[in-house]
Structure 1
Amino acid sequence: MLGSSFSFPVKGLGVWKNNELHAVSNGAWNRYSGGTWSSLASGLNTAAEWSFANFDGSFPGINLIGANGVDPIKVYDGATVANLAGAPANGNYIINYMNRAFCAVGNLLQASELNIATNWTTIVGNDVDPYTISVDTTDGETINALKPGIGHVTIFKPNSMHELFGSDPSNVRIEPITFEVGAINNKSVITLNGTMYIMHRTGIYRYGGGTKPSRDFSQPVQWYMDNLNQTAISKCCAGTDGQKLYFSIPVSSSTTTDTVLVYDPEFDAWSVWNDFTALHMVQTASTFHFGMNDGKVIQLGGTTDNGAAITWERISKPFSAEQMSRKIRWTRMWLVADVPAGSTLNVYVSPSATGNSDWVSAGSIAPQTGVQSARIIFTPQQTAQSNYMRVKFSGTGPVTVREWDRDEIDFPIV
């Protein structure tokens, strides 16, 4: 945890110059420096969610602009926070694209003068002028997210996506992408390695341009998206540490986020964090941070949860015989793992393809210095004949499972 916890949920995280962390909570804009948080502005709306963008242009240096759609758009110059002069009232989802500041007000996409974030209205008749474009759809939805890209801005509504190409009044145009998929909110869209990942109320979609967004890659975690608490989806958020993607959601009856779906694109693998209430995520040059529902701002990394050992588990897919109607039984398994001092590793097996009620303890691996190879022998009672078998590894603290194998008997069909 960074500094002391705020007393209320975090409503925004921003980064100035890629290294100085800022957070908004309970109507106060705070800066993190020297291990403590200090308030730079107060009296702000306590419910609105914030977005941030760095902007240089005509400013004396890089400034951090923040918007929430309720308060006047704010700007931080490295020392103080003030209203951004000339900014549109109720402007939201602030971004920096092609040396212009952009924001949305309802269905209107507004762009500042080229290099000047303080002029949004004065027009002299050339391509440096500010401009406003209406993004209308037949469903009447308003813009709820803006994301800059290379050569375009992606504009989101709850159930549609559009792209703005060009940057000047004479060449700008908007093209629709889809009227079937949109964004839950501005903080539920993230880009990694040129690919955009989008949280929609029906699933997590991937968009690389040229084709419609697809959710095929997220089918392993579709159950969680199918069980979103639709009354609390405004709390959803997404982020990346540069290697993995993190999607925070409220599941079932939870009134705030309680589950994080973690995707590793290098290995096309998913994992799930439970009881984790992230509301905002942001990456600095070297660290990745979560803003939490309980007011904490925490940093990803290390081997403990603020000093406490982390409890974890990994459940395998169901294994069957080549012909799924045949029954199988496992007789023994081998495990190669690193279990350092202070960590634990337990092994369980289940004769069911799904569920969590029939796990049978198969044994545990004691901590040991270096890599160890362990053999586990099963009794017939532990792995009675079944059409399916699963294995679960669980424990506390850091553990690396390097290899797992098993002996299996396949019985004839009777």
Structure 2
Amino acid sequence: MVAAQNAYSLEFPHFGGGVDESTAITHLPLHTASAMSNMDYTEWPAVSVRAGSAKLSTTAMSANPVTGLFDVGFSGGTRALLAKCGTALYKWNTGTSAFDSVATGLTAGNVRFCVYKDTAIMFGPDAPKKSTDGTTWSALGGSPPTAKYCITHADRVFALNASGYESILYFSALEDAEDWTTTTGAGAAGSIPIDTNDGTVGTGLWELRGWGRLLAGKERALYLLRGTGPSDFTADYVTRRAGPVSQEAGVVTPGGEFYFAARDGIYRYSGYGAPEQIQQPVQATWDTLNKSYYSRIAAGHTNSGGVERVLFAIPTGSATVPDKVLVYYPRWNVWSVWSGIAPYLFATIQVGGVDYLAWGDDAGFVWKGLQGTQDGATDVAWSRETGVFPLGDRNVYHYLERVTPVFKVESAGTASVAYDTAASGSYGTASTVDLATEAPTKHLWAPFASGEDTRAHQFRVKVYGTAGPATLRGMTVQLRKGGV
């Protein structure tokens, strides 16, 4: 029997893990107190449904993974969007909106591109190739190594991980990408050993923009190239604690920070000190990583909509290709988790003069991301779940009357809200609304059936739906305090 009834409400100024006041009993840290799927931070501290994605072409290049993706601009304003798929290299045809094969008979496997003096260069399983237009390809001269990774730096081309010499960093002659044999003079070509006896191999090359520094990765270490030429080039370790698991697992931001996935987590290196491990807020998802497929982790970066995001696509559970994307927002130091997309590798591409976050998948398609409200023809399914909010004295019950999230509705879709008073993961009856028929801001509440027990010492709320986009701006929970 209820001895007393005192109505009150809890206001949540944003749909995060708790109220803003650290002294409040319901306060929980934003990054640990909630779970989300396919939510995007576009106007902090509100969360929005992430935008969709679309195939660049409706026809697959081949029924194989996309193992190289690169958008290069040549002098005169021409561009070439290149994609390696299976045993062929393709170039995007803007006239037919399809990929045309420009090189065949290649060895399957990942390739890496770089540009030097208006020439695109491709390294990978085959002997390096070059092109000045993206269509006609020929052998890169000067006896370069057949290495997995390449990059341009300090007026040279550098290459890493050649067969039998997996820990040797090679460099071309100064200002000549097709001279790898000259051994005398300040402009000579040469090589640098990188801990050749540590039992690991080179995993990639990156340049810290703005710093003018070249980074070389190994399986469990990260190295920094020092010196100005063959006489004093050295590779000094930054850390021997963790290294990028692959070339695709690292990305440099325009601001000069290097993010990479190692075997034990995700790291950020800002050009000084030791790399900082940052994946802890999404540790629960990271822990589901299929560790047999570390090499399939893919890293990407975008400033779409003026919001910086660093993305890591990972295979989870028994998946052998990425099925979850961990998204980090450096400006606010928060994370989200996306699903429903399967990036095999990321790239930034330009289509119609507009930059897009893009990715290749494991089925021969290239996708443009963060556009529209669907992934192909599939609605984006999203959810936002709060942490568990305690309600004070456990000798007194609190009765939930109404849960009211506040939406900014931007397009058609559905949204539902449900509550869990046992904090068991089992949610009660959901209230659903068709967003297309509602006003720009919708107040949605969870219903309580006649006779339903809404007593709680704690509670949490889940809001979920399809399509959108919609932005969750806040939440009000109405309760009454009583006793039994």
Please tell me the residue identity of whatever aligns with 2:86: N
Please tell me the residue identity of whatever aligns with 1:278: P
Asked if structure 1 preserves the Cα contact closer than 8 Å seen for 2:401 and 2:479, the reply is: yes
Partner of 2:48: none
Partner of 1:185: 246
**Distance in 2 between the 1:377 and 1:186 partners?**
47
Residues 1:240 and 1:122: Cα distance change in structure 2 (over 3 Å): same
Residues 1:165 and 1:364: Cα distance change in structure 2 (over 3 Å): same
1:168 aligns with 2:229: yes
TM-score by length of 2: 0.77
Partner of 2:146: 90
Superposition CA RMSD, Å: 2.4
Pick one of 134, 139, 151 that aligns with 2:212.
Answer: 151
1:10 aligns with 2:95: no
**Distance in 2 between the 1:219 and 1:161 partners?**
21
Partner of 1:44: 106
1:302 match: secondary structure: coil
**Distance in 2 between the 1:31 and 1:373 partners?**
46
Asked if structure 2 preserves the Cα contact closer than 8 Å seen for 1:325 and 1:387, the reply is: no
Partner of 2:362: 293
- CA offsets 1:191-225 (integer angstroms, 9 cap, x no match): 2222111101111111113222222x321211222
1:333 aligns with 2:403: yes
Pick one of 325, 336, 340 that aligns with 1:260.
Answer: 325
- CA offsets 1:151-209 (integer angstroms, 9 cap, x no match): 21111111111111234123422211111111110110012222111101111111113
**Structure 1 residue 325, shift from structure 2 partner:** 9.7
Please tell me the residue identity of whatever aligns with 1:293: D
Asked if structure 1 preserves the Cα contact closer than 8 Å seen for 2:157 and 2:171, the reply is: yes
Pick one of 391, 410, 417 that aligns with 1:321.
Answer: 391
Please tell me the residue identity of whatever aligns with 2:212: G
1:232 match: secondary structure: helix
Asked if structure 2 preserves the Cα contact closer than 8 Å seen for 1:319 and 1:390, the reply is: no
**Distance in 1 between the 2:299 and 2:318 partners?**
20
**Distance in 1 between the 2:71 and 2:182 partners?**
30
Partner of 2:462: 391
**Distance in 2 between the 1:33 and 1:252 partners?**
38
Asked if structure 2 preserves the Cα contact closer than 8 Å seen for 1:109 and 1:134, the reply is: yes
TM-score by length of 1: 0.89
**Structure 1 residue 362, shift from structure 2 partner:** 3.5
1:228 match: secondary structure: coil
**Structure 1 residue 29, shift from structure 2 partner:** 0.6
**Structure 1 residue 387, shift from structure 2 partner:** 3.2
**Structure 1 residue 303, shift from structure 2 partner:** 2.1
1:376 aligns with 2:445: yes
**Distance in 1 between the 2:289 and 2:397 partners?**
36
Partner of 1:197: 259
Asked if structure 1 preserves the Cα contact closer than 8 Å seen for 2:411 and 2:470, the reply is: no
Residues 1:410 and 1:189: Cα distance change in structure 2 (over 3 Å): farther
Residues 1:325 and 1:271: Cα distance change in structure 2 (over 3 Å): farther
Q: Which moved more, 1:140-149 or 1:390-399?
A: 390-399
Partner of 1:59: none
> Superposition pairs for residues 113-124 of structure 1, below 5 Å?
113-124=173-184
Residues 1:273 and 1:327: Cα distance change in structure 2 (over 3 Å): farther
Q: Which moved more, 1:157-166 or 1:171-180?
A: 171-180
Aligned residues: 402
**Distance in 2 between the 1:234 and 1:120 partners?**
29
Asked if structure 1 preserves the Cα contact closer than 8 Å seen for 2:123 and 2:149, the reply is: yes
**Structure 1 residue 10, shift from structure 2 partner:** 0.6
**Distance in 1 between the 2:188 and 2:145 partners?**
19
**Distance in 2 between the 1:344 and 1:310 partners?**
11
2:364 match: secondary structure: coil
**Distance in 2 between the 1:262 and 1:9 partners?**
23
Asked if structure 2 preserves the Cα contact closer than 8 Å seen for 1:336 and 1:371, the reply is: no
**Distance in 2 between the 1:95 and 1:325 partners?**
66
Please tell me the residue identity of whatever aligns with 1:299: K
Asked if structure 2 preserves the Cα contact closer than 8 Å seen for 1:31 and 1:39, the reply is: yes
- Structure 1, unmatched stretches of 5+, are 57-61
**Distance in 2 between the 1:328 and 1:53 partners?**
63
- Structure 2, unmatched stretches of 5+, are 1-54
Q: What percent of counterpart residues are identical?
A: 26
**Distance in 2 between the 1:146 and 1:240 partners?**
17
2:244 match: secondary structure: coil
**Distance in 2 between the 1:38 and 1:339 partners?**
41
1:99 aligns with 2:160: no
**Distance in 2 between the 1:41 and 1:160 partners?**
35
**Distance in 1 between the 2:132 and 2:424 partners?**
55
